[in-house]
Amino acid sequence: MHYTGPVFRPPPEADTPLLEITYGCSWNRCSFCTMYDGQKFGISPLEHIEEDLQELSRYYPKNLKRIFLVNGDAFALQAHRLLEIADLIHEYFPQIECITCYASIRNIKPKKLDDLKKLRKAGYNNFYMGIETAYDAALKQMRKGYTQSDEFEQLKKLEDAKITYNAIIMLGVAGKGNHQENAEQTIKLLNRFKPSMVLPMSTSVQNNTPLKEMLENGEFIIPTEREMLEEELMILENLQMDDDCLYFSGHIYNISRISQYFKYQEDIIEKLKKRIEEIDRSHPGLLDTVLSRGNL
């Protein structure tokens, strides 16, 4: 397989074959991110993609239903290129139903609704979107390259094209003291554009990032573990998701990890409250600190 530099996929896609169509991230500027440090963005040649599909077809059944395209924002490619790639995928796996990948609001913006509809017809669906937040101040500080109004506009286009998405959100991303405003804005966005999955991730400040500099010069104050968990509780108590929307907090940065459908929302909330009580009992004071987390 042609895997260039670091390769990431969301935890729920552990059993899905990974096909490289890009490497690095076309943006690579988010304040907190170290995922593709030192890796330039690039587009995989079609010959490599075809060779990889040939290889995958030796290990996966012909009736494979799902494939994940790497890397950081594979949906950055232009629609015509993505359609060519879909044709190739269907040649080797004719029963593919879902071509998924990481996608950002920025990747959707230049695509017309018509293009999105064609991409949906070709199998593109169920994107993992690092929304992080819908709170403008935090979006700006995290250098996401879009605003809340972009999120509303672009998610509306996805909705019109009948493309579903999974929302990755960052707990604590707005910094100490701002969790309520942050949660409120994110809840508003997710309740309007209901994702198929909600994947929270605790904010972590990595070395050699703009966020680390902000932390050192006082522009960003990291909330404690308790504040992040309180934000998570607030989000959980106010989200109005469909019953079959999955809450997946299994990210390695989270100290509470739950995977359960929103049909059991009350149960998820109870589990999180119990987890907070357990930690307070077994490690008094721990939640009032900030744990250090390694680079991804």
Residue numbers of the site for ligand SF4 (CB under 6 A)?
25, 27-30, 33, 35-36, 72-73, 104, 130
Residue 181 Cβ vs ligand SF4, minimum distance, rounded to whole Å: 22
Q: Which helix (H) or strand (E) holds 129?
A: strand 127-132
- Least Å distance between CB 40 and ligand SF4? 13
Q: Are strands 22-23 and 42-43 parallel, antiparallel or unpaired?
A: antiparallel
Give whichever of 8 and 60 is closer to ligand SF4, judged by the CB atom: 8
CB of 42 to ligand SF4, least distance (A): 14
| Dihedral (Cα; 70, 73, 78, 81), 10-degree rounding | 0
Closer residue to ligand SF4 in complex, CB, 73/227: 73
| CA pair distance 198, 259, nearest whole angstrom | 10
120 three-class SS:
helix
Using the minimum distance from each CB to ligand SF4, give the nearer residue, 206 or 256: 206
- Give the whole-angstrom CA distance, residue 239 versus residue 62: 39
| Phi–psi pair at 234, nearest 5 degrees | -60, -40
- Least distance from C-beta 72 to ligand SF4, angstroms? 4
CA 176 to chain centre: 22
For residue 262, the minimal CB distance to ligand SF4 (Å) is 25
Token readout for 79 is: 């629609």
d(CA 91, CA 84): 11
